[in-house]
């Protein structure tokens, strides 16, 4: 039997005249990592706050781990990574983790081992004695993510974490989150670092102007743009690369690449004929950026998306 960690039914959130979320329907199976992706103002953070129980929707229902986010039984099961700005800047990294462990119910003795385990898991042992304010922004956000991993969360929420942390720290956190998902904990990650989220997430939900455009696996998302956004890879040659409206060209170590909007296909016919070009799927990042910039063009492809819980493509 499928167990859903999240179930949002026609959820809307209005702030004055601004509709931050517009009848969002979304469900997500437990033990999987979900990415919330969208351009600035898409409603990612608003949705994260609703999942965390920091706000109530204007209309609709939010269910988390089988109950309302405000249910007393979920008090210690929904873990939102804290903003690093909320930490005591003069406290050490180790002391910060111990304090969070105590707040989540650890005894003084147990908090020492909890903090030590988290320092080791996130590779923060060498900076354990340093004050938080002395850390790089990347390490501060890695520490922030660590606060969400302490305890026994059913739901872990990270908003913007991967937009800040550097690649090495991101890889460390990636491993830690994968271990939690293997333990049937559910993770929701929101942000704009599409490359990092594409590598991490089992599923991604795209938000556009407060509406849920759709939900799919990263692989399905990349394939959904076939015929609308075409990517060609060719070995290096002396033939100049076409470039213009709807066509993006770049040199790579192995050859040349063209990203071509379907409306600009006629502009690359000659180049394709003169080069041994191979048609490949765009990267996750390329596909996401194109979809979010051309939501109206994707409506006809809605059948390629997994619209759990009634998710639907946005229309202009």
Helices (H) and strands (E) in the chain, counts: 11, 13
| Predicted local confidence at residue 89, as pLDDT | 96
The reply to whether 260 and 167 lie within a common domain is no
Q: Are residue 11 and residue 64 in the same domain, yes or no?
A: yes
- The ranges of the chain with pLDDT < 70 are 1, 236-241, 299-316
The whole-number pLDDT of residue 239 equals 58
Contacts of residue 9, Cβ cutoff 8 Å, sequence gap at least 6: 25, 60, 61, 63, 309, 310
- On whether residue 98 sits in a domain, the answer given is no
pTM reported for the whole predicted model = 0.89
Specify whether 199 is located in the same domain as 182.
Answer: yes
* In a shared domain, residues 44 and 162: yes
Sole residue written with tokens 């908003």: 159
Of the candidates 14, 3, 24, 23, the residue with the CA atom closest to the CA atom of residue 67: 3
Number of compact structural domains in the chain:
2
Residue 107 placed within a domain: no
Note whether 25 and 73 are same-domain residues. Answer: yes
Mark whether 166 and 266 lie in a shared domain: no
End of a domain among 220, 250, 265? 220
**Residues 272 and 157 reside in one and the same domain:** no
Residue 236 lies in domain: 227-280
**What pLDDT, on a 0 to 100 scale, did the predictor assign at position 308?**
42
Two tokens, residue 123: 């590779």
Whose structure tokens read 């040349």?
A: 256
Tokens 């213009």 locate to 244
**Residue 311 covered by a domain:** no
Two structure tokens written together for 120:
């080791």
Does residue 303 contact residue 313 with C-beta atoms inside 8 Å? no
What pLDDT sits at residue 108?
94
């Amino acid at each position: 039997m499928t167990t859903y960690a999240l179930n949002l039914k026609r959820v809307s959130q209005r702030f004055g005249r601004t509709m931050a979320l517009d009848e969002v329907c979304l469900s997500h199976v437990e033990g999987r990592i979900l990415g919330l992706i969208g351009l600035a103002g898409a409603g990612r953070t608003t949705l994260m706050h609703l999942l965390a129980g920091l706000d109530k929707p204007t209309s609709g229902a939010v269910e988390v781990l089988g109950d309302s986010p405000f249910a007393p039984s979920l008090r210690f099961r929904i873990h939102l990574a804290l903003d690093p700005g909320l930490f005591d800047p003069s406290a050490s990294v180790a002391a910060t983790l111990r304090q969070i462990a105590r707040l989540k119910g650890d005894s003084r003795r147990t908090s020492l081992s909890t903090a030590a385990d988290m320092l080791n898991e996130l590779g923060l042992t060498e900076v354990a004695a340093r004050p938080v304010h002395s850390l790089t922004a990347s390490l501060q956000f890695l520490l922030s993510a660590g606060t969400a991993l302490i305890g026994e969360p059913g739901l872990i929420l990270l908003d913007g974490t991967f937009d800040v942390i550097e690649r090495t720290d991101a890889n460390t956190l990636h491993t830690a989150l994968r271990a939690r998902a293997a333990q049937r904990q559910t993770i929701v990650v929101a942000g704009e670092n599409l490359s990092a989220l594409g590598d991490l997430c089992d599923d991604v939900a795209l938000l556009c102007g407060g509406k849920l455009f759709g939900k799919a696996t990263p692989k399905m998302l990349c394939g959904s743009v076939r015929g609308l956004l075409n990517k060609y890879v060719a070995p290096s040659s002396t033939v100049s690369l076409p470039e213009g409206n709807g066509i993006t060209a770049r040199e790579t170590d192995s050859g040349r690449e063209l990203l071509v909007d379907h409306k600009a296909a006629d502009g690359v016919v000659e180049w394709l004929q003169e080069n041994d070009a191979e048609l490949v799927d765009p990267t996750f990042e390329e596909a996401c950026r194109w979809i979010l910039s051309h939501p109206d063009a994707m409506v006809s492809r809605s059948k390629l998306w997994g619209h759990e819980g009634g998710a639907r493509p946005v229309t202009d």
